[in-house]
Amino acid sequence: MLVVANPVDILTYTAVKYSGMPESRVIGSGTTLDTARLKYLMGQHLDVDPRSVHTFIIGEHGDSEIAAWSSTNVSGVPLDDFCEMRGHHEHQASMKAIAEKVKNSAYEIIEKKKATYYGIAMSVVRICSAIIRDEKSILPISSMMHGDYGVDGVALSMPSIVGKNGTEGLVPIHLSDEEQAALKQSADVLADVIKKADI
Ligand SMILES: NC(=O)c1ccc[n+]([C@@H]2O[C@H](COP(=O)([O-])OP(=O)(O)OC[C@H]3O[C@@H](n4cnc5c(N)ncnc54)[C@H](O)[C@@H]3O)[C@@H](O)[C@H]2O)c1
């Protein structure tokens, strides 16, 4: 079961809880779209093919999402080094601005054309291909968390191996202390909604 409707992490949690299906077979599109937008914008900024940018947006698909900068690299070269190489010396500020733009792009698109559809359609195609072809691609889909990174009892996005059986598990990317704290905060936002909505 692939959940795309928003709020996607809350609905993924709900689907896991009430569908009776094995947890690993219930996933949400999560931050796959946000990650694609991040790669695209970074590709533009660094003047490099976005497919060579390895990065993830993690956490909630929404306002508390996090760009996992500490594990970001361009073809294996750490982000900071690649930025310097491309002549970007204010890269911390640029990365912050890019992450904000990713976070706000859905609002911007909705304001201009009422809804978002092409981007999410591409993301759904990507996830479905990984499932149908059993690609075992690493995608930031939303799935139930059980203690990894100190997060438990909510569905949110972390890089996961996706194939014909749904998710085969998380990929343990490195997070800085700051990113880990932000992830915990993102999980708390979701846990609060689950509690208030009494799901
Ligand atoms: N996860 C993402 O990144 C992402 C991106 C874009 C949109 N979305 C979500 O996708 C969902 C759909 O967006 P949209 O722009 O296509 O919305 P939409 O309003 O155009 O389409 C929703 C459709 O659902 C139908 N529907 C409503 N209640 C139903 C019910 N009880 N049973 C059967 N059908 C029902 C409506 O008739 C309508 O055709 C929204 O929840 C939106 O937030 C998610």
Q: Stretch 118-129: mean pLDDT, rounded? A: 95
pLDDT at site 90: 81
Instruction: Tell me how crowded residue 145 is: count the other CB atoms within 10 A of its CB.
Output: 21
- CATH number of residue 152's parent domain: 3.90.110.10
Beta carbon of 12 within 6 Å of any ligand 1 atom: no
pLDDT at site 109: 87
5 Cα nearest atom in ligand 1: 41
Q: Which residue has the higher pLDDT, 117 or 131?
A: 131
| Res. 28: pLDDT tops 90 | yes
123 Cα nearest atom in ligand 1: 3
Residue 47 lies in domain: 2-197
Beta carbon of 115 within 6 Å of any ligand 1 atom: yes
The per-residue pLDDT for range 169-183, each reduced to its tens digit, is 999 999 999 999 999
Beta carbon of 71 within 6 Å of any ligand 1 atom: no
Question: Average per-residue pLDDT in the chain?
Answer: 94
* Protein residue closest via CA to atom 3 of ligand 1: 120
Beta carbon of 64 within 6 Å of any ligand 1 atom: no
pLDDT at site 115: 84
pTM summary value: 0.93
Say how many domains are in the chain. 1
* Protein residue closest via CA to atom 8 of ligand 1: 5
pLDDT at site 130: 98
Beta carbon of 95 within 6 Å of any ligand 1 atom: no
* Protein residue closest via CA to atom 43 of ligand 1: 6
The per-residue pLDDT for range 75-86, each reduced to its tens digit, is 999 998 998 888
Indicate which residue of 61, 88, 89, 174 is catalytic: 61
Q: Stretch 11-28: mean pLDDT, rounded? A: 98
The per-residue pLDDT for range 126-171, each reduced to its tens digit, is 999 999 999 999 999 999 999 999 999 999 999 999 999 999 999 9
The per-residue pLDDT for range 48-70, each reduced to its tens digit, is 999 999 999 999 999 999 999 99
- 177 alpha carbon to ligand 1 midpoint, in Å? 37
| Res. 89: pLDDT tops 80 | no
Beta carbon of 116 within 6 Å of any ligand 1 atom: yes
Active site residue 45: no
| Res. 30: pLDDT tops 90 | yes
